[in-house]
Amino acid sequence: MSTPISIRLDEDMREILEGEAQRRSIGLSRLIREIATDAAKEVRRRRIREQTKAVAEYVAGSPEAKEFFEFWGTPRAEI
Alpha-carbon gap, residue 75 to 18, rounded angstroms = 53
Confidence class of residue 14 from pLDDT cuts 50, 70 and 90? Answer: very high
79 within a domain of the structure (yes/no): no
2 part of a folded domain: no
Q: What DSSP element (H or E) covers 39?
A: helix 28-61
Is 52 inside any structural domain?
yes
pLDDT of residue 36: 96
User: Is the pLDDT score of 74 beyond 70?
Assistant: no
Q: For residues 72 and 69, what is the distance between their CA atoms, to the nearest angstrom?
A: 5
The reply to whether 3 falls in a domain is no
- Whether 15 is in a domain gets the answer yes
Confidence at 68, pLDDT banded by 50, 70, 90? confident
Query: Which is nearest to 55 in space by CA: 77, 73, 34?
Result: 73
Instruction: Decide if 5 is inside a domain.
Output: no
Report pLDDT for 65: 84
The domain total for the chain is 1
pLDDT of residue 79: 60
Report the predicted TM-score, pTM, of the whole model to 2 decimal places: 0.70
The whole-number pLDDT of residue 31 equals 97
For residue 22, the enclosing domain spans: 11-72
